[in-house]
Amino acid sequence: MKNKIGLLLVGVLIATVGFTSLEPVSAIAGSIKLTYANFPPAPTFPCVQMERWKKEVEKRTNGQVKVDTFPGGTLLGAKNMMDGVIAGQAKVGNLCMAYQPGRFVVTNATSLPLGIPNAYVGSLVLWDLWAKYEPQEFGKVKVLAMFTTAPTNIMSKVPVRTLEDLQGLDLRASGGAAQILSAWGANPVGMPMPATVEALQKGVVKGLYSSLEVMKDFKFAESCKYVTMTDTVIYPFAVVMNMDSWNQLPKDVQVILDDLKVEQSKWTGDYMDNHVKKAMKWAVETQGVEVINLSAAEKARWDAKLQPLTDKWITDAKAKGLPAEEIVADIKRLIKKYSE
């Protein structure tokens, strides 16, 4: 009896020593599981970049990390993404900052009409802005990537050729994009992107204001036969991770995820810019969509309406104690830097 207990103890000892001496412990394939929540359907760009991140992380950690992705709001939805990740309901989540504009004041400044030309530049501008100010609204999470959409344009069931056509028109938009529509005299209707499908079907809105890849990815080209080019503003996104989950990762895995941050942001911007081109080619060639380009004179009228927006943002952000002028100057400087 005594011998048996002794043997058992030796066995436990060997097992413990053997296990802990596997260096690093976490190198066992699939030993770290990360859940990753996303709000729109799988074929859309936020989920395409999610699958790319999953693939890269699993490859670069030799399968040590396994990422389980949840597209379509199956784990967390558009508006509870940040809080859900903070609470640990998902370990990683992708969020659109425009859905909680009051929460992400600094980074939403990228949604002012300051002339971000494409998603690649937008993503790098957003990343640098966040890195410089490290705004407290991201203080409870680990930021894994940031990127923007391509510039927004009007997709509608009725043609919009002049400012007059836009007056009172119900168009779906959120955050900074919604404020721009208001300034032009349209009636922005706020809701996250996935809700737009039903809103268009039911006639709650006559169109939307967003980046054009959604013409194909959400099949909006089937009902919105007109696209008015404005290229005015972007929507900013972030990929965030639960801080405890991050702190529990082995150092080597943390290094891999850190190395991927800017690369993933660039990859997504690039994917977005290319995908917009493909989606619009499809929309025009197979769905009979008309692209409306404003004349220079008409565009000048639209632009004139936007000038007060940045001033107002500066006043409001200053009241919140933020270095508002510096933030706007930084965005302008970064746009120049990355556009070259």
Which residues are at the interface with ligand 3IO (CB under 6 A)? 40, 44-46, 96, 98, 149, 174, 193, 210-211, 214, 235
* Nearer to ligand 3IO among residue 64 and residue 192 (C-beta): 192
In whole angstroms, the minimum distance from the beta carbon of 302 to ligand 3IO comes to 19
* Nearer to ligand 3IO among residue 216 and residue 253 (C-beta): 216
Q: Would you state the structure tokens that stand for residue 9, as one six-digit string?
A: 């103890």
Point out the residue whose Cβ comes nearest to ligand 3IO.
Answer: 210
In whole angstroms, the minimum distance from the beta carbon of 202 to ligand 3IO comes to 18
| Sequence-ordered list of residues with C-beta below 8 angstroms from that of 181, at least 6 positions apart, any chain | 166, 171, 173, 187, 188, 209
| Contact predicate 191/114, CB 8 Å | no
| Contact predicate 251/108, CB 8 Å | no
HSE (CB half, 13 Å, CA atoms) of 210?
28
Other C-beta atoms lying within 10 Å of the C-beta of residue 8: 10
In whole angstroms, the minimum distance from the beta carbon of 326 to ligand 3IO comes to 27
In whole angstroms, the minimum distance from the beta carbon of 189 to ligand 3IO comes to 11
In whole angstroms, the minimum distance from the beta carbon of 276 to ligand 3IO comes to 10
* Nearer to ligand 3IO among residue 98 and residue 324 (C-beta): 98
| H helices present in 154-291, as ranges | 163-166, 175-184, 196-202, 214-217, 243-248, 251-287
Angle between helices 251-287 and 45-60 (to 10 degrees): 150
* Nearer to ligand 3IO among residue 46 and residue 113 (C-beta): 46
* Nearer to ligand 3IO among residue 45 and residue 271 (C-beta): 45
For residue 165, with 0-12 CB atoms within 10 Å meaning exposed, 13-18 middle and 19 or more buried, which class applies? middle
In whole angstroms, the minimum distance from the beta carbon of 290 to ligand 3IO comes to 21
**Which of 230, 220, 178 lies closest to 196, judged by CA?**
220
Q: Which amino acid is at 192?
A: P
- Pairing between strand 187-189 and 65-70? unpaired
Question: DSSP states of 176-188 as a string?
Answer: HHHHHHHHHT-EE
| H helices present in 134-171, as ranges | 163-166
**Which of 273, 289, 293, 270 lies closest to 281, judged by CA?**
289
3-state helix, strand, coil in the chain (%, to 5): 55, 15, 30
In whole angstroms, the minimum distance from the beta carbon of 148 to ligand 3IO comes to 9
* Nearer to ligand 3IO among residue 108 and residue 174 (C-beta): 174
* Nearer to ligand 3IO among residue 93 and residue 249 (C-beta): 93
* Nearer to ligand 3IO among residue 273 and residue 324 (C-beta): 273
In whole angstroms, the minimum distance from the beta carbon of 213 to ligand 3IO comes to 6
* Nearer to ligand 3IO among residue 233 and residue 260 (C-beta): 233
In whole angstroms, the minimum distance from the beta carbon of 237 to ligand 3IO comes to 7
